[in-house]
Amino acid sequence: MLVNLQTTHRPQTLRAAQALLSMPGNYPIYGSGGYLFRMENALRRDVQAAVDLSELVSNMVKRYPNDQLFISGAATLQAVSETVHRGAEVIKGEFPATLRNTLTIGDLLMELPSNSLSLALLYGLGAQIDTPRTGEDDLIELGRWFGLSVQERRQHIVQGVVIWKYAEPWRFAVAKVSRTPADAPIVGALGFAYAGETNPGSYAVVVGVEPHPVRYHSGLVATVEDYKGSAAYRTEMARILSEQAIEAAEHLARQG
């Protein structure tokens, strides 16, 4: 429960919203604000006021003729899966329908689940976050966003996510180890291959080895270690799963 929540603000301008979010204890709401209820208890207790951004952040997902893809901060994960067809399997494999219709891209970017393959999908496609934060670049690379604390993230308004080159020839494949097939991965890999090229530049993004998704490279060593798996186990599984995911993605790419 959000035991210390006192009020909800509904600003009508970005400047007013930014001023509210600069104050301690104020957290943004994208759509239903589902991430607030999924945070650790200590963080939930820090929420004193919610800043409803429904008047300022849209829920659209739009493809442009130049292959640019824009996903608004209030777009639900279900809306994304319906538009990003090749990524639908990734999103649907991670979130049940109830959560896909509730959680938004803004929620996902505020929560940053460490083992999220949907985040790995955005990261692997070179997603950048569109934010009007004064005094900084308007676009923040997802890799830099991963390095921000929740206190830093809450002060940004996620207007949307921009993927500059998204085209149908992309093929994705998932490989993971988990307690059951339906569970979140202990270690997972998402392979990428581009079917529009004779020799696609394939690669993999892995989760479960660091606190956020990372692009796999030879010699990668896990820093995460818990009761689900040692760092050595996660390191070895990242290598195996990345190879499997790339091979599967290349197979899909060859099929066209």
The domains of the chain are located at 7-163, 170-255
Residue type, 216: Y
Which CATH number applies to 170-255: 3.40.190.10, 2.40.30.10, 3.40.720.10, 3.30.390.50? 3.30.390.50
Q: What is the pLDDT of residues 4-36, one digit of tens each?
A: 778 999 999 999 999 999 999 999 999 888 898
Q: Which two tokens stand for residue 208?
A: 């479960």
Q: Cα(219)–Cα(179) distance, rounded to whole angstroms?
A: 26
- Is this prediction's pTM over 0.85? yes
| Phi, psi dihedral angles at 212 (to 5 degrees) | -155, 165
Q: What is the pLDDT of residues 75-99, one digit of tens each?
A: 999 999 888 777 888 898 899 999 9
Q: Cα(54)–Cα(118) distance, rounded to whole angstroms?
A: 23
Q: Cα(38)–Cα(2) distance, rounded to whole angstroms?
A: 11
pLDDT of 256 > 70? The answer is no
Which CATH number applies to 7-163: 3.40.190.80, 3.30.43.10, 3.90.340.10, 3.30.465.10? 3.30.465.10
Partnered with residue 69 across adjacent β-strands are 63, 163
Residue whose C-alpha is closest to residue 130's, from 122, 94, 8: 122
Q: What percent of the chain has pLDDT over 90?
A: 65
Confidence (pLDDT) at 166: 76
